[in-house]
Structures are given as C-alpha cells and as structure tokens.
Structure 1
C-alpha cells in the first residue's frame, strides 16, 4: 500500500467501544429507574443482549462509512470510487511473446500469417497456446518475419517460456518451416489487486494534466499491464522522459512489455507533443545473502519450526527487496525479519547496506542461510 495511506491515522465515525456502549446503556437505565442493576438481574441481562445488537450495528455503520474512503475501500466499492475518476480495474492479463515464422524457401510473392494463428509449447497438448495478435506479412524474397502473440489463458500461467520453447504450430500454414518464440513470455498477471487499483485511483488526477508530470507517466505506464507493480520516471534532459517499469515479483520486463508501455505512453492523448519518451528496463543491482542464525536453547523443542520460519522470512525479504524500484539493500530489514521468525541471534556477513537509485532494482544472487544451532539467551 502507498506510504501516503500508511501514514494516515485510523479513524472511526461512530463509537465502537463495546464496553463503553454496555456501560452507557446500564448507567442510563439505572438512572431512569433509580435502582442498581446487579449482574444476575433479568433486566440487566436483557439490556446486555440489547447492547450486543447495538454494538454490531455501530460496527456495521462504522465499516460502511469507512469504505467510502479510498484507504479502506475494497472490491466493488473500490470500483465505484474508480468510476468517479474514470479509472477501471485492469482485467487479468495474458503473457505475451514475440514469435518468429520462418519459411522453407524464399517466395516470389508475399505470404500472410493471419492474426490468431496458434503456436503452442512442445508437449503442451493444446492445453495452452499463444495466438498472434496481428497479421504478419512476410514480403517476397524474405524467409522470416516476427509478430507478437498472447497466451490463450490469462494470468501468470503463460509466463516464463524461454526462447524456442514455444515451437509447435497448431494451425499449419503452407511454406512455413518453423515457428519459435524469440523472447521469453512475460506480462501475464491476475486481475488487478485492490492495492494496485487503489494506488492508480489515487494517482489518477495526475493523468488530467497535459504538461507531462511524473505522476501522469507513472499512471499511464501502469495501465499497460496489470503485471506492472512499480514505475520510475526521470528526466535526464529538457523535454526528455525516461520511464522504467517493474513487474510483479521483481521481474525485469521483457522487450514485449517495454513495447506495450511505450505504446501506451506515446498515445496522442497521453504524451505531450514536445516530450521524447524512452521506456527501458531497470538496472539490476546484485547482492548475496550470507546469514547464520541461532535458536534459544529454551526453545529447542521449537527449533524445527523456527528454522522453517526463518527460511520463509529470508524468502519474504528477498521478495520485499525487489518489489520496489530504488529500494536500498538493507541488511537491518533482513535481521529484523529473521528475529521476528524466532531466531535468537543473527549474524549477517552479506549483504551490506547499499544505496539503490530510482532506476535500479536490487536482486538477490547467491543465498546461503545457515542454522548455527542452539545458544543460551
């Protein structure tokens, strides 16, 4: 969630203190009848039951009022708020890749590869395949051509097919000898999450400007794919803008994703006429993790579960570190997470604190986590 939301104090629109409501009801009733109501008094028991109904109603009123605010809204309510800013939730996105079609021989006339031509991964059995998104024309005398293709199934299922792994034509075309993907498939993502949608709604007013503010480029870049979780924008020179997107899980965007962002930003209704926009991948800053931890001897019976928890904490740190552009490599965060998982003492030889610029992304390389055994408090 945006740090702006995190910095906001929690609020209540009505009193939701259960004990306060109960005491108020009892006190008022005692004042009206001029008697004390003891715990076993049937009238007190009736009032306590009534108080529970009022408490639930207060909590419901408070919840329904709070979800009118962007910080607390979720689900359908969030979509209704988005409508006020002309922002809709991004649907699940299909992975994309670039497919190369190669002919057996050069032809004397052009050959057309229709849009929607299907190509699957070897051994896929037709359960998953990629379809060309545009018509491809291979001119006379040439033997190959390239076209973008999208996965038949939306979501992350189509991600991660390496070059040449998608090589089985499902729709045979005369004279086509081979079909392969020449880029790794990427960009597939589930339906946009509430947190990501909430952040786009918050930044939507930036998109109203035609002056090319940083927030506008960030907003429009994130509309290119629901797999984009962060965008950095900088201006190295006058009338120049460099836009750097980052994919979910800290993945570096492929050229296909960069092209999709470039297309979104260069729309005539988005890019200021005088701006030259460049879309590029973030620069990875590699770091290693070398960590040794110890478990309190008093918790020896829990050592197995603590080891599993520490390993999970290290994995969570790795994801946290690469989930935002410009996030400094911070070993203190790693120590805090490991100790929160139950470690008594943590010794970190690597990483060391390293500053990361807004166009860079920290990425873990070698990870070595060692259980040092039991230790006295």
Structure 2
C-alpha cells in the first residue's frame, strides 16, 4: 500500500454516534422508560426480561439504531478515510478530482503489403485486428503505405475498455478482421498495455489526498505523483525524485498489475507531464521504468498435526499467501523482506516456515524487486504441536 494510503488508513477512527451499539440503545431506552413511569406513578417500575413493554422497546431500539447507523454513515462520507463509491466521487470534486473511467489498451500495428506498389495503399481508420481469441484492436487514424514501400505503423486501441486487452506480446495480434486489398499481413510491434478498469476507491482516495500538491507551480513531489496517477488508472506505484542543482525530475513507475511499463506508456506519461499546466519551466522531466532487483523464493513449511483435517485447505492458503507476498513485494523502494513472507505463510495456517530464499536485500528508493523464475514451495508434512 502506498504511503499516502497508509496515512489515510492510519487516521484515528471517528464515530458520529459515540460508538454506541444496539445493546446500549436497548439499555438506555429501558432505563428511560422505567425512570419516566416511576416518576409519573410514584412507584418504582422495573421491566422484567419477558415484559411485553421491554419487547416493544427492543423492537423500537432496532429501528432507532438503524437510523443511527445512517447518521454515522452520513457523517463519515465527508471524511476521506471512510468515503466510498458515489459519496467519494462527490467528496473528490471539492478538490477538482474526478474518477478515472475505464480505459482500453493500446499498441502499434504494422501493416505489410504482399509486394511494393506504384501507388499508396490506404489503411482506413477503424481497421480491426484480433488475436486468436475475441479481443479486437482498431486503428486510431487513417494511414497510408507510401508508393514504393511495403509497411506502415499505425497506433491502435482495443475496442473494449478494461484490462482484457493488456498483456499481448509483440506479434500476437496477427488476424486482419477487416481485409484490405494488397495487405498480406499485420502484427503488433509493441506489447499491448494501458488498459484499466474504472478507478478504484482506494486509488481515487489517494489522488484526492495528493491533489493539494498539484495546486502549486513549484513542482512538489506530491504534484508529480498526482499528475502521474491522473494520466491513467493503469499506472500503479510511482516515485518522483529530483536533482535540484541540475533541475531534473525523474519519475519511475510500474503498472497497477505490477508489470513493467512499455515504451509507449513511458513516452505517453512523459509527454503528459511536459504539459504547460503541469511542468514548471525550470524542470527537466524524465520518465522511466524502475531498475529491477531480482530475488527468488524457496521455502519449506510444516503444518500442525492437530490441523491434519484441514491440511489441504492450509496448503492452498499457503500457495495464495506466497502469491500475495509477490504482489506485496512489488513496490518501488520496498526492501526484499523474507520476514514478511514468513509472516504471511504463518497467517495462512503453517506451523513453521524455513526460508532459504530470498534473503533480506535493501532496495534503492527508485528500484523495484522482481521475482526471478517460479516460487519453489515445498510441503514438509505434519509435525507435532
């Protein structure tokens, strides 16, 4: 979790109903009833547990407590820590921030003729190309293969917004859905990337937190982080550093799914950050993918014999914990920490864990860890408690 979200989540909890629960409301209503009737009649009145009046008060307390929950929620929706969904959208607009919509993946397509021609060959805008499956990319602009040439590169966008269009390696898009005379083949020259689902509540809350940094023209760190995340919901962790003497600002980032950004995404973000309303005139902004520090995973875990009935469930949970660790570890500047791996595997139900890899490794603030090969997870069997 980025530092900004940690700061939000770590704020003190607030209750607009003084943390009352249903039992407290019941007790207060019964006490108020007994006090009022006793005062009115001059006789001490105590409601028995089976009293019809007590049951009526309990029924009313349920409705009153529900109304209190609505009041508590209403108050919390004006606070960034608790706000969600449409409430968060309305809160964000006060900082000039709107939720990023789902965006489609992009790539570059290369169309190739069967032979050179004496005239130009047009590639209509919207020409579709697909993979072996049902994912389609359409060209963004009209393009031409000049006379005497055989190829042209054209930017293209997935026809469906979201992450489904991400991750196709160069060469995987090779089926022309809309045939063009004289065009023999097509292929994507870059991996498809940049597709993102609609921005999550956590990501939007983080941008709202960073938004004040974007108001300054002095080029603060928060401002660059805000604008980088505003460029695309597909962008994940971002780090900005600067060399004040040289007047340079270096931005490194990874994608929201933890993958390394491709050249098109890097160039797109760099161009966006060069905007006159974003980049101070004195800053030279450079954008790149972070350098990677590789590590491996090799561990053996054991399960308590008393947990033998759920050993299969624990084994599946351990495998998931190792996968979750890889996701947790993939943050820029986060040291490679085997203790966290042990903690997560133990939480999954293991009795003990022996880790031979990774070893603790400090990671520079602008670098990111990367798993090399597959994780090796060995089950050592049951042990006495």
Q: Same fold (TM over 0.5)?
A: yes
Tell me the residue number matched to 2:49.
Answer: 39
Aligned match of 2:294:
286
Q: Check conservation: 1:95, 1:185, Cα contact below 8 A.
A: yes
CA distance in 2, matches of 1:73, 1:165: 42
**1:257 paired to 2:257:** no
**Distance between the aligned counterparts of 1:272 and 1:110, measured in 2?**
43
Q: Please say if 1:308 is aligned against 2:352.
A: no
Superposition deviation, residue 36 in structure 1 = 1.5
1:89 maps to which residue? 99
Q: Equivalent of 2:327, from 319, 326, 342?
A: 319
- Once residues 111 and 211 of structure 1 are traced to their aligned partners in structure 2, the CA distance between those partners, rounded to angstroms, is 49
CA distance in 2, matches of 1:286, 1:174: 48
Q: Which deviates more, 140-149 or 5-14? A: 140-149
1:106: Cα distance to partner? Answer: 4.5
Q: Which residue of 2 aligns with 1:51?
A: 61
Q: Secondary structure at the match of 1:235?
A: strand
User: Hey, what's the Cα distance between the residues in 2 that align with 1:341 and 1:103?
Assistant: 56
Question: In structure 2, what is the equivalent of residue 61 of structure 1?
Answer: 71
In the alignment, structure 1 residue 132 sits paired with structure 2 residue 142: no
CA distance in 2, matches of 1:367, 1:36: 66
Structure 1 position 373 matched with structure 2 position 361:
no
Question: How far does residue 101 in structure 1 lie from its aligned partner after superposition?
Answer: 2.3
- Is the 1:155–1:188 Cα contact (8 Å) retained in structure 2? yes
**Structure 2 CA distance for aligned equivalents of residues 271 and 139 of structure 1:** 38
What secondary structure sits across from 2:252 in the alignment?
strand
Which residue of 234, 238, 242 corresponds with 1:231? 238
Quickly say closer, same or farther: Cα 1:349–1:59, change in 2 above 3 A: same
Deviation, structure 1 residue 13: 0.9
CA distance in 2, matches of 1:106, 1:220: 45
> By how many angstroms is 1:76 displaced?
0.8
- 1:256-301 per-residue CA deviation (whole Å, 9 max, x = no partner) reads 2112212221122211222211111111211111110111111112
**Cα drift, residue 104 of structure 1:** 3.9
* Cα distance in structure 1, aligned partners of 2:282 and 2:146: 35
1:228: Cα distance to partner? 0.9
Q: Residue 186 of structure 2 aligns to a residue in which SS? A: strand
Aligned residues: 373
Q: Which residue of 2 aligns with 1:339?
A: 346
The question of whether the paired residues in 2 share the 8 Å contact of 1:223 and 1:264 is answered with no
Tell me which residue corresponds to 2:188.
181
Equivalents in 2 of 1:275, 1:207: separation in Å? 15
Q: Which moved more, 1:280-289 or 1:132-141?
A: 132-141
Other-structure match for 1:14: 17
1:4 has 2:7 as partner: yes
Q: Does 1:153 align with 2:160?
A: yes
SS at structure 2 position matched to 1:223: helix
- Per-residue deviation, residues 17-58 of structure 1 (Å, max 9, x unmatched): 222222222222222222122212222222222222211111
Q: Which residue of 2 aligns with 1:248?
A: 256
What is the SS of the residue equivalent to 2:361? coil
Match of 2:85 in 1: 75
Q: Is the counterpart of residue 349 in structure 1 residue 356 in structure 2?
A: yes
Q: Does structure 2 retain, via aligned residues, the 8 Å contact 1:154–1:190?
A: yes
Q: What secondary structure is seen at the aligned counterpart in 1 of 2:253?
A: strand
Q: Partners of 1:95 and 1:30 in 2: how far apart?
A: 67
Q: 1:358 to 1:114 in 2, by over 3 A?
A: farther
Q: Deviations over 1:186-223 (max 9, x none)?
A: 12121111111111111112111222111111111112
